[in-house]
Structure 1
Amino acid sequence: MAQNDTDFSGKRVLVVGGSSGIGNGIAHGFRTRGAEVHVWGTRAKASDYDAADGSDLDGLTYQQVDVGDPDAIAAAPADFDTLDTLVLCQGTVVYKRGEFEREGWDRVMAVNLDSLMHCARKMKPMLSKAQGSVIIVSSISGYSANVGNPAYAASKAGAISLTKTLGQAWAPEGIRVNGLAPGLVDTKLTKVTTENPRRLEGALRAIPAGRMGLPGDMAGAAIFLASPLAAYVCGQTLIVDGGLSL
């Protein structure tokens, strides 16, 4: 391994959904390795986020973009003309069987699946200039049923399929597209499990590694996929779940 394979100094990274949770962990993973990191989130300004929700925007360039709205993505100004890595980590979920209704289904699919394509298309010219890479963050829920959350599971399965198709389509142009599929990670979206002792105990029993994942665990996988170490990896989704899906 070359000494600088995971040095991103002089590189520019955009993490969509990087304001908290997994995306925030990935953003800081790149930042600590020298990258100039931009983040898209839903709130008006960086100070609107709460550290208690796993949000740390220090050292990151923040921009508000509601990726659930295709027009907002199209209109979003870019402060750069080249991009080395695009991380698509946006995601939402509706509990209490809300995804079985039209409003819940449409919102989850718009954010978790449709926006992946809209963001990737928008950034493609900049990625092409840099011969960059795209990392699509899906979930192990994309490989199985997800009780009570049909839109979440379907959108994540779609994200895994989109990773394959874009990987095939864009590789000839020098853009690598890959993905990672987290298992149970301690974020604000998983509080329905992490804040319920009985659910948490059951979940941990099912994870061979014996613990939940951390945003930093996902950052390691993303850094690998964006680095020269993964130069011949294309269209693949790396499962990062502590063995939960086994």
Structure 2
Amino acid sequence: MITSSRTSVLDLFRLDGKAALITGASRGLGRSMALALAEAGADILAVDLDGLEQVAEEVRSRGVNCSTCTADLSVLTQETAAELISWTRNEFPQPTILVNNAGIIRRGPAVETTKSDWLAVMDVNLTAPFLLSQAFALGVIAAGDAPASIINIASINSYQGGVEVPAYAASKHGLLGLTRALANEWTPQGIRVNAIAPGYMETDFTLAHRENPVRAENMLNRIPANKWGQPEDLAGAAVFLASNAAAYVSGTALTIDGGWLSR
């Protein structure tokens, strides 16, 4: 009788024995990805400003562990990023997945954008992902924990300018560039770096658009899927990029936009 030792393709997506640090985990896209990674078997380290009790309960109901940490990423430094990564290692022995999801937006014409608004967006959307990725990579390399995966949550505004969101568009362009730059440096050391670029999702970020009937209709008419994306639409991409199914994937971005960018 011939037997095969080939790994099942579905087993490649399993994350048992791994731990994932997710920023902005209490709601929206972050919550959805935390639950998806938990269902795939990963323990979850959830970070946000507040509201973490609910997502922690939901994660644990999926049969894995969850630890939470309240943190303000707008004031993150190299020292506090290192402390946050040290916390993850104290909680779980092998944190090898980092999801840089936390983000903010400031809307308004470019001529009215203040320096403080510009810097606030850059601090959370671009600087914090870099500092956390840096501390995460240093920890993985020092502990010999590779393979590992970093997933940055970019945007379709990583490819276009948007309307009256200059700082947000610039930060998301930068995050895509950072993804590629870090992939070039760290993939040889076993740390894959990729991005997910969501389109217009039904989250707090798009509330202003969805509450404007004319704007909402115009936007939906451009989306071939003819509907707003749901946070759950990122679940499969997050599990894929975190798992061994994506072992040869680094420096790329998966666009999840219902076809928006194809128009």
Q: TM-score, normalised by structure 1?
A: 0.90
For residues 110-133 of structure 1, give each alpha carbon's deviation from its aligned partner in whole angstroms, at most 9, with x where no partner exists. 000011110101111343414211
Q: 2 CA distance for matches of 1:32 and 1:75?
A: 28
Q: 1 CA distance for matches of 2:224 and 2:67?
A: 37
Shift of 1:81: 4.6
Contact 1:12 1:85 in 2 (8 A): yes
Does residue 92 of structure 2 align to residue 80 of structure 1?
yes
Q: 2 CA distance for matches of 1:127 and 1:186?
A: 34
Q: CA RMSD in A?
A: 1.8
* Unmatched tracts of structure 1, length 5 or more: 48-54
The match for 1:124 among 133, 137, 144 is 137
For residues 66-121 of structure 1, give each alpha carbon's deviation from its aligned partner in whole angstroms, at most 9, with x where no partner exists. 11112343443333353121111110001234872111000000000011110101
Q: 1 CA distance for matches of 2:107 and 2:93?
A: 39
Moved more, 4-13 or 106-115: 4-13
The match for 2:76 among 70, 75, 96 is 70
The match for 1:185 among 185, 201, 218 is 201
The match for 2:37 among 11, 27, 30 is 30
For residues 176-218 of structure 1, give each alpha carbon's deviation from its aligned partner in whole angstroms, at most 9, with x where no partner exists. 1111100001111211112222222211111001111111111
Counterpart residue identity of residue 121, structure 1: Q
Moved more, 236-245 or 117-126: 117-126
Moved more, 105-114 or 75-84: 75-84
1:52 aligns with none
Does residue 91 of structure 2 align to residue 115 of structure 1?
no
Is the alpha carbon distance of 1:134 and 1:15 closer, same or farther for their aligned partners in structure 2, counting shifts above 3 Å?
same
Shift of 1:134: 0.4
Does residue 87 of structure 2 align to residue 94 of structure 1?
no
Identity over aligned pairs, percent: 34
Matches of residues 32-47 of structure 1 in structure 2 within 5 Å?
A: 32-43=39-50, 46-47=52-53
* Count of residue pairs brought into register by the alignment: 238
Residue 95 of structure 2 aligns to a residue whose secondary structure is: coil
Counterpart residue identity of residue 43, structure 2: E
2:253 aligns with 237
Residue 11 of structure 2 aligns to a residue whose secondary structure is: coil
Residue 5 of structure 1 aligns to a residue whose secondary structure is: helix
